[in-house]
Structure formats: C-alpha cells, structure tokens
Structure 1
C-alpha cells in the first residue's frame, strides 16, 4: 500500500503542481510522508514535514471542542441560548438561537462572507481593511445588525459568523482570549507543539506563505487577502504531524471524555451533498448507511487543506497546501488506495 499511495501522490503532484505536505498514518505506522513546492517562493525555501501551514476553516473543530469542554465542565449547555451567554446586542437575531444551532450551522444568522452569494473573499476588505481584524469582536460590525437569513433550524447553511460567535462565547465563559484558550486546552494537550494562531505580520520561522496563482502565470501571496490573525472560524497554522497528534488525542479521549467526543462526532444535520453530514465542527461522510470518514477541511485564498480519520481502517490523512487548490485532488487519489 505504501508504494501505491506514494505513486498516487507523485502522479497528482506532477499534474497540478501540488505545493504542501502530505502525511498518511495507520495507528503509529507512517504509510506516506511527502512534501513538495516552496514555503517561500521568492527565497526558494522548500516545504518540509515541519512546515506550518494555514488551514482556514479546518480549525472550526478546535472551536467546537472548546465549547464541548465548557459544556462538559458545566459552564454551558448545548441548549443554552445565545442571548443567555453572550453580552452583545444582535437586534435582528432570533432569541431562540442556541449553542447547538451555531455549532451545526443551523442558526439562520447572516454571514460576514456568505458562500452562497459571494465568491471573492477579497471583496470583504475593500471597506474593512484586513489588518484591523486581530480580535473576534472586530468581526461583529460585518454582520451584527443584519437581518436573519433563514429561520432557526430551517436547514444547514455553512456559516463563518456563527463560529465567530462561538469563539466570543468561549472568551466570555472562560475569561481567556480565544486563541490562548485553544493553545492551552487543545494544542498543548494534543502535543501540537508547532501549531498556533499567528499574525501575518509576525510569522514564526518555517511557516509557509500562502500563494494565489493568477491566470497569466504570475502569483502573489495571500497577506492582503485574509484577516491578519485567525480565530474561531478559521486561520490557525499547523504541521501535518501536529494534525495526526490531534486526531490521536481526540480519539483517545484526551481532549474530551468518551461521552462528549461522541457528541462532537454525531451526524446531526444533512449537508448539501449526498451522504454528507455535519457534527460539531466536523464533516461526516457515510457509505451504505455506515460512517466512512470524519473529516475537516479549509479553503482560503492561498490555502487548501483536508484531514480525515477513517474509522474502519484507523487511517489518518493530513494534506496541507499553501496554494488555493490541490488538497482535494490529493485526498481523492489517496482515498482510491486506502
């Protein structure tokens, strides 16, 4: 299997010039580990297994785990209403929105970037410079006073603003900055020693710049395309090894008890794709009525990311790319073999 997976990876890399790192592991055995392309094209610094990559929305699962930790400790419940746990005014929001609704993208609230009607993330920063967005409360003016988009619990509607609100709830309940809470209560516990929420204007060493390739063959970095610092809806930086450690810690109940890990991984709502469901911060795919994989993913300008756990085989995959595309094709080819 090792040779077949590596052949698949090399083939797809030659086709789409994949830039990033890939790790496939079964239990403690590494089936494949490979890196391609440059973390810094200008200086021709190559990506490697310790390169830190942005993972965009892939880190919504960290937010969901933080909420589950607070529920498990009795400081919150999934039925707690937003108006009961966050001291922020939302004049047009339904008063019946709960933590569960926010976690499962069923709250019906407006989004600051609505993927159903917008396709250019950079449009957001014309009136709201991205370098001002360093804290979660900085996002509130982008959606706080808008009307509801849907009725509460009407349907699944992927929503970044909902996870901004969950991050604010974490801050209010824990009395810690969101990023500090995640680093202390998830990254440290999971042995994610190289991961963090880094600002674009002060990145640590061995961090990949994200690249946007233009139709004319030119390219640019994504430093003017995203908020200067990530938060509860996306934007953490990880290594492939750290993400394998994350899955192991989660599945061994080091982050949550077995009861609350199962709550996190329950398929609560059907998404827009066949046999695809959403738990708490996690996508869940089924085949023939059985769970085939738990996975997280993220896409931003200059970022593409997929990571999954396949319960029948115990295989974990991590695909981090510092280009806008490439991770999905790589994941699909790997799944052809595993």
Structure 2
C-alpha cells in the first residue's frame, strides 16, 4: 500500500487534486489522506474531518429513504406518481411510477436538460439560486414542461425525478426531506459529520467549493448551486462518513433487504447498469462495483464498494474535477 500512497501523491501533484480520500478493506484502513485547501483565502487545509459537497452522490440516500418507506408498507415501487402526490403535473404521463423515477426511466422533463444547457449556472439567471431552499422551490423549473418519452422506454438521467421522489418522502413521512434523511439514514449509519447544509450557513470544517479558470484565477461556487441541497443532490459528507454509509447499507443496518437497490434494473451502456439511486458495473457478467458519483461546479465526488474484495472507497473534492483520476488509480489495486 505504500506504493499506492506514493502513486496517489504523484497524481495529486500532477492534477492539483484537492480533497480527501478514504479506502477501507474489511476492518483495515489502507488510505486516509487529504490534500489542498478547504478555504483558500484563509489557507485552511483539507483534513480527514473536512466535509465536502457530493452533488448527485447522495441520490442513493433518497433511494434508501423510498425503500425504507416501502418496507414500512407506506408505498410501493409500482405506485403511480399521480397517486403518490397531490401536486399538479399537467403534462406528465399518467403511467409514471416510483420505479421509473428511481431508475431515470420516467421520461418526465428535467430542470437541467443537458441536451439544451451546457452550464449548470444558466439555471439561476431567471431563478435565483438563493430562493431554492426547499424541494417545492424546484417545481417551477419543470412542473409545467412536456413529457420527454413514454415511461420505461429508455434510461435518461434526470434530476427532477429525484426532486419528485423527495416530495413523496415528505408527504408519506410527514417530515422535511433533509430531516428524514438525517434521522433515518445519516444518524443510523453513524455519519456524525454529515448533513444537508445551506451554502450561506456552512458549519465548521466544511470545504468551500472552487471553480478554477485557465488563467489561474478562481471563484467559489456559492452563486452556482441551489443554496440548500435536497433529494437530487447537495449533501455534505466526510470521506470516512461515506464509507460508514456503505458499511451500514451492506450490513443491513438501513434496510431489511438491500437487494432491491442493488439489482441492475436498467442497462445504461456497455457494462454499466443502474439500480435504485446507484450505478452498477459488471465485468464478465459479475458485479465488479456498486458506485455513486457527483459533479457540480466546485464539486467532484466518487465513492464505490467492490464486493469481491470487500473494499470501500470515498473520494471527495472541492474542485470541479479530480476525483475520477484518483479513483482510476485506486482501482488498479481493487
């Protein structure tokens, strides 16, 4: 493992990776290292207790929340959206189910359409990001748009679908989504340093996200993201806490039956599949890894569980890229 640590440090210098890495196999921690600055202006370095935004990496938390409510008999995966919520979606297909939303096969319009927009920041020109604090605040961005395709027809990654899932969690549980996840997932997993924090009220030891320009200048991501994260992304975790989440999930501390999440429900492309809130990669028709990822301006994140070796990896960065390069190097040892 010394060679791995040396190689990671070499790549870190090449790409100027900033963030934290945590790698655990069984009960042994193989890598726990941090690089760069959590706060550049005040020269505060990233450390093992630093919390990082993980963007879409926390869609899996939303899927777990839905699965918990299903296990409690409060909803079914085949429940129709029109029966699950009393919110008007005038142009959505009447056959959209919770399963479709979880697997990105619903065909509902997304609030960030990658086929139309290249820059996530474009969203906040007409809809100021500082107004986006609750899930209902996202509705004007997609509620009255047209259905894209028939439910179940194909896979098309969709953030709005996970906003809708969060609204379902709120209605069924009677709790604010972020509070539900905190109490029923993060706390249960022992993730004491993680949560959904507002960008204008970040707690101590939280990394500020940075957007770098080619001329060496930079800015923070405060005006580039919704002010408060939710069911489609935006939680903050430490790298170690993310590993604790995987352990809680795999050891059945969050669900009685995790297999519903870990089943490859839809084929994306090549060896890549999608379960519920989780990517699944196969090699020679066997599961190679379960993984989540997240990218936002000033955020890059990858975390994975490799069942054949019982290895768990979490890579958190407060820059727009870098986590994937570190993951590729780690995977040479997985």
TM-score range, shorter chain: over 0.9
Residue 12 of structure 1, CA deviation:
1.0
**What do residues 246-296 of structure 1 show as CA deviations (whole Å, max 9, x unaligned)?**
011000000001x3x00010000011x310000000000000000000000
Within-5 A mapping of 1:169-248: 169-248=168-247
Name segments (4+ residues, structure 1) moved above 4 Å.
none
The separation in 2 between residues aligned to 1:60 and 1:183, in whole angstroms, is 14
Query: Residues 61-72 of structure 1 correspond to what in structure 2 (within 5 A)?
Result: 61-72=60-71
What SS does the aligned partner of 1:200 have?
Answer: coil
Q: Secondary structure at the match of 1:61?
A: helix
Aligned with 1:268 (options 265, 268, 277): 265
TM normalised by structure 1 equals: 0.98
* Cα distance in 2 for residues equivalent to 1:321 and 1:147: 35
Aligned partner of residue 282 in structure 2, secondary structure: strand
Shift of 1:4: 2.3
**1:65-93 C-alpha deviation (Å, 9 max, x unpaired):** 00000000000000000000111000000
How much does 1:115 deviate? Answer: 2.2
Q: Secondary structure at the match of 2:193?
A: coil
Tell me how far 1:125 sits from its aligned partner. Answer: 0.3
Contact kept in structure 2, 1:56 and 1:234, CA below 8 Å:
yes
Taking the aligned partners of 2:48 and 2:68, their CA distance within structure 1 comes to: 30
1:52-131 superposed matches below 5 A:
52-131=51-130
Summarize deviations over 1:219-262 as a string: whole Å, max 9, x none: 000000000000000000000111111011000000001x3x00
Once residues 237 and 116 of structure 1 are traced to their aligned partners in structure 2, the CA distance between those partners, rounded to angstroms, is 28
Once residues 298 and 22 of structure 1 are traced to their aligned partners in structure 2, the CA distance between those partners, rounded to angstroms, is: 15
Match of 1:153 in 2: 152
Gaps spanning 5+ residues in structure 2: where? none
Q: 1:283 corresponds to which residue?
A: 279
Offset of residue 117 of structure 1? 3.0
DSSP 3-state at the match of 2:50:
coil
d(CA) in 2 for partners of 1:219, 1:337: 34
TM-score by length of structure 2 reads: 0.99
What RMSD, in angstroms, separates the aligned Cα atoms of the two structures?
0.6
- How many residues matched? 334
Is the contact made by 1:4 and 1:337 (CA closer than 8 Å) also made in structure 2? no
Structure 2 match to 1:297: 293
1:151-179 deviations in whole A, cap 9, x for unaligned? 11110000000000000000000000000
Secondary structure, counterpart of 1:241 in structure 2 = helix
CA distance in 2, matches of 1:288, 1:191: 35
* Whole-angstrom CA distance in 2 between matches of 1:337 and 1:295: 16
What is the Cα deviation at residue 336 of structure 1?
Answer: 1.1
Provide the rounded CA distance (Å) in 1 between the counterparts of 2:94 and 2:149. 13
Structure 1: how far apart are the matches of 2:308 and 2:333? Answer: 14
Query: How far apart in 2 are the matches of 1:4 and 1:150?
Result: 49
Q: Any stretches of 5+ residues in structure 1 without a counterpart?
A: none
Q: Is the 8 Å Cα contact of residues 71 and 77 (structure 1) preserved in structure 2?
A: yes
Paired with 1:200 and 1:93, the residues of 2 have a C-alpha distance of 32
1:319 aligns with 2:315: yes
1:33-58 Cα shifts (integer Å, max 9, x gaps): 11000000000000000000000000
